[in-house]
Structure 1
Amino acid sequence: MTTPNRFIVVDDDPLNNLVCNHIILKVDPDAKITLFTNPEKALEMVQTFGESSEKGDFVLFLDVNMPSMSGWEFLDAFESLDEKIHERFRIYMLSSSIDQGDIEKAAANPFVRGYYPKPLSFETMGLLNL
């Protein structure tokens, strides 16, 4: 996987998305960032981006608790996508939940590379080894 400079943030909270956008751009001024408050639309774009012949990979920050589709439901739908799509995404859960069950569930999911508290911080970005 190449070092991504493309980011997707999926969170129903527009304020959190703005914070993510700000932090990512401070860390990587050349980053291309796509923000979604609707996880279903994000999933459609993930499939489109993943099938694209454009080179490069993506970091996806995914909220756990969203009203229309939870982060877990998003991951279940992501699992049904083609393996070539899976390979292009590094998914990190970004949540205000400190529920140990959520943390363990994220750790057990093969698509999730980490579980971090909201809001996204410079410290978290440093932990991602981008």
Structure 2
Amino acid sequence: MELSFIIIDDTELDHFIARKMIGNVNAAYTVKSFMDAGLALQHIISHKHDSAIKVVLVFLDIHMPMMNGFEFVEAFEKLEQAIQDKYYIVALTSSIEVSDINRIASYSSFRTRITKPITADGLKSLLNTVAAEFGISLT
């Protein structure tokens, strides 16, 4: 499988919804879940040579305790470019604050933004965009 997922969110319900939506699209996708963004970052660093996966779609909550989504992206953007190129980071937020939306847009690593909770239509649209950009098959 060329695509896998990482969910980084401090809310169990949002993990459950995201996993359910992803599983409904394709139950064979690998999904890793992290309640702590720092642990997710360590996972990314330690799995940088996984050549079987072409792209990892990361759903990243921007408002979390300890390390928030913005701090995660700042640390992520310091990683070598070859690692960064493999990850497609999506800001996952319920915020409609203009300051949050503008801040998300200011980071090149945030590829897009999805409002919580993830919906089937929103996920399918996102997957089609990612598949086209990376030249991967979703089946």
Give the TM-score normalised by structure 1: 0.91
How is 1:89-100 mapped onto 2 (pairs within 5 angstroms)? 89-100=87-98
Alignment correspondent of 2:39: 41
Alignment correspondent of 1:84: 82
Alignment correspondent of 1:110: 108
What one-letter code is carried by the residue in structure 1 that aligns with 2:18? Answer: C
Deviations 1:3-22 (A, max 9, x none): 84200000011111011100
Q: The residue matched to 2:42 in structure 1 has which SS?
A: helix
* 1:71 equivalenced with 2:73 (yes/no): no
Q: How many residues align?
A: 128
Q: The residue matched to 1:115 in structure 2 has which SS?
A: strand
Percent of aligned pairs with the same residue? 30
- With 10-19 and 98-107 compared, the bigger mean Cα shift is at 98-107
Alignment correspondent of 1:19: 17
CA contact (8 A) 1:11 1:66 kept: yes
Where does structure 2 lack aligned partners over 5 or more consecutive residues? Answer: 132-139
Deviations 1:67-124 (A, max 9, x none): 1111000000001111110010000001111111111221221111111110111121
What one-letter code is carried by the residue in structure 1 that aligns with 2:92? Answer: L
Give the TM-score normalised by structure 2: 0.86
- Separation in 2, partners of 1:24, 1:48: 24
Where does structure 1 lack aligned partners over 5 or more consecutive residues? Answer: none
* 1:124 equivalenced with 2:117 (yes/no): no
- Separation in 2, partners of 1:94, 1:4: 22
Deviations 1:56-76 (A, max 9, x none): 220000001001111000000
Q: The residue matched to 1:116 in structure 2 has which SS?
A: strand
Aligned-residue offset at 1:46: 1.2
- Separation in 2, partners of 1:18, 1:91: 19
